[in-house]
Structure 1
Amino acid sequence: MTYTGYLHVKVGKRRDKSVITNSYFDGVLKITRPTYLHDDLPLLTLIHVGGGYVDGDTYKTEVVVEKSARLALTTQASTKVYKSPRDGVNQVMDYVLEPNSELFVKQDSLILYQDAQFTQQTNVYMSSLATFFYTDIMTPGWSEDGSLFTYTKCTSKMKIYVDGSLQVFDHLLIEPNEQLQSIMHLEGYSHIGTMFLIHPKVTESLIEKLRTKLAHFTSESRFGISLVANNGLTLRILAYSTPLIEKVFSECESLMMKELNNEEKLEWRKG
């Protein structure tokens, strides 16, 4: 199959350092040269050179982190999905984490403009000894009449397999209508943030610490944190702005990195 954008990256451990051992990209997707956040943590920035996603676009990203290697992956800017009434936009991301590997994925916001249709499937195949950290943000884009929810449909599925067994299946489906501002839907909030962390040391105690740390955000957002199978947690937040969600994610990351790895939170520099 020919994709609008295709990316394949493999990271391995060489002489006590995580290095990019193989990379290939085609179409409108490209990556920067790696920079190192810590002594052993390369950061790659994904670049979309086409300016935005349009009707009929298809994307595939494959990332393999080999045994004991580490990688941080981010985006250069927000992903903009424009009018796509016929075929929509489809994106698949596959992440493979071998034992004792670590993968940190932090994406800029996904902006859905009027009449946009977007489908994303994220598949994670990981060892129970690996670490997987992931965040994304979804927000409605500008429309001529100023309405918020003018995109047609957004589907995002996350499947996490741990030691070959499906442990997490999260399905976010939004088809905007007048009910999005009612109870049990978005309740008037416009932005949605999602975070996953799978780590051998995640416990209910860590979740309680996160809830305490984030308590001061309750006046301007709504969030929930849950323990998932095999030492993991998920957080979902509703808010009115991207910067607020990013601030919540940053505070979570700071606490988690300190508690679990005894490290400072990552500095996601943009090139």
Structure 2
Amino acid sequence: MNGCNYAGEFHIELEKRGNATVISKKYFNGLVKVSPTIHLDKEKISTYFILGLGGGYVEGEKYRNSVYLKEDARAIVTTQAATKVYKCLKGYKTEQETDIKLEKGSVLEYIMDSVILYRDAEYKQKNNIYLTSSSTLIYSDAITSGWSPEGDKFQYSNLQLSTKIYVDNRLVLLDNLLINPKEYDVTGLGYFEGYENFGTLIVIDYRISKEVIDLLRIKLKELELPISYGISLLEENGFVLRVLSNLTQNIECAISTCHNYIRKMLVNSGDLVIRKY
């Protein structure tokens, strides 16, 4: 790896040794580090926090995350706090790349706090994820419109979220979301429809079915939150949930509810509680 191209980057490889998952290889450079192995619950699932050493992302900076789980490894990777992206006034985007590789039988919960886009921010996020048909991925992230002095919504310049997921080297999900608030009205029908923040949950596992999706819709309806959401079954191997709301807490509640149901169903685990201060 060449650290010269990134303001911050890390790479970790995780493997199963006995009954535990441990780091077998790690590398980090610049404005990002990864915590040592932490066990948060009775199951002692190996958990790793991505630690940002700066106050946020500034114009032109690039970051890269790389996570590799070997056969039968299980881990949780999460951010320490929300990521702030500041103004870009010279035409240079702030970028983040994430590469994830899961070998057979491995389970990864990759949980990202909100990316907060402030006025005039330009942000591009690119995910490339590779699994086998026996791997399990639970991935979540969110985008929040940052505060502006005028109180106006959608003051960031543009946003691109690109996710490609491969199962056994076959593309199963290509999601490319482009939002340009400075060029067109994103508040109306077909876009955000009165909301300003959104979150995404992606689950890839061969056991996901239409019946699972129907149960998740029931659970989301029972929350009675002021949200709008869509949940789509992929042609095979999983689903995508996207939630719109004006409050990040409502998005987190909806995604957490589905996440906890899925982790109980797939890996027989209890509710996940990650306390961040």
Residues 30-69 of structure 1 aligned to structure 2 (within 5 Å):
30-36=33-39, 37-39=41-43, 41-69=45-73
Q: What SS class does the counterpart of residue 185 from structure 2 fall into? A: helix
Preserved contact between residue 40 and residue 70 of structure 1 (Cα < 8 Å): no
Write out aligned runs for 1:86-125 (5 A): 86-125=91-130
Query: Aligned equivalents of 1:19 and 1:154: distance in 2?
Result: 35
Contact 2:102/2:130, CA 8 A, preserved across alignment: yes
Aligned residue number for residue 168 of structure 1: 173
The one-letter code sitting in structure 1 at the alignment partner of 2:60 is: G
Counterpart residue number, 1:79: 83
Between stretches 131-140 and 213-222, larger displacement belongs to 213-222
CA RMSD of aligned residues (A): 1.4
SS in 2 for 1:235: strand
Q: Is the 8 A contact 2:225 2:250 kept in 1?
A: no
Between the aligned partners of 1:162 and 1:265, the Cα distance in structure 2 is 27
- Which residues of structure 1 form unaligned runs of 5+? none
Q: Give CA deviations for 1:28-69 in whole Å, capped at 9, x if unaligned.
A: 001111112454521100011111000110111111000000
Which consecutive residues of structure 2, in runs of 5 or more, have no partner in the other structure?
Answer: none
2:20, 2:46 within 8 Å by CA — same for their partners in 1? no
Q: Which residue of 2 aligns with 1:223?
A: 229
The aligned amino acid for 1:147 is D
Say whether 1:132 aligns with 2:137: yes
Q: Which residue of 2 aligns with 1:197?
A: 203
Q: Which residue, 169, 183, 186 being the options, matches 1:180?
A: 186
- C-alpha separation between the residues in 2 aligned to 1:66 and 1:41? 15
> What's the TM-score, normalizing by structure 2?
0.94
> Partners in 2 of 1:83 and 1:249 — Cα distance?
29
- The partner residue of 2:215 within 209, 226, 232 is 209
Which residue in 2 is equivalent to 1:11?
14
Partners of 1:186 and 1:236 in 2: how far apart?
Answer: 11
Query: How far, CA to CA, are the matches of 2:198 and 2:97 in structure 1?
Result: 20
**Alignment-mate amino acid for residue 127 of structure 1:** T
Query: Cα offset for 1:17?
Result: 1.3
Off by >2 Å, runs of 4+ in structure 1: 37-40, 216-219
Amino acid at match of 2:128: N
Structure-2 change in CA distance of 1:38 and 1:103 (3 Å): farther
CA distance in 1, matches of 2:181, 2:71: 43
Alpha-carbon spacing, 1:118–1:227, altered in 2? closer, same or farther (3 Å): same
Residues 138 and 259, structure 2, Cα contact 8 Å, conserved in 1: no
Within the candidate set 248, 251, 258, 2:264 is matched to: 258
TM-score normalised by length of structure 1: 0.96
1:39–1:268 distance in 2 versus 1, CA, 3 Å: same
Q: Does the 8 A contact of 1:168 with 1:229 survive in 2? A: no
User: Residue by residue, what CA displacement relative to the aligned partner does 1:164-212 show, whole Å, maximum 9, x if unpaired?
Assistant: 0111001111101452111101111011111100012111111000000
3-state SS, counterpart of residue 61 of structure 1: strand
How far apart, CA to CA, are the structure 2 residues paired with 1:72 and 1:232? 19
- Residues in 1 aligned to 2:260 and 2:113: alpha-carbon distance in whole angstroms: 18
With 217-226 and 246-255 compared, the bigger mean Cα shift is at 217-226
Task: In structure 2, give the amino acid aligned to 1:245.
Answer: I
Deviates more, 1:159-168 or 1:14-23: 14-23
Q: Return closer, same or farther for 1:48/1:219 CA change in 2, 3 Å cut-off.
A: closer
In the TM superposition, residue 253 of structure 1 has moved relative to its aligned partner by: 1.5
Aligned length: 271
Offset, 1:231:
1.8
2:29 alignment partner, SS class:
strand
Moved more, 119-128 or 209-218: 209-218
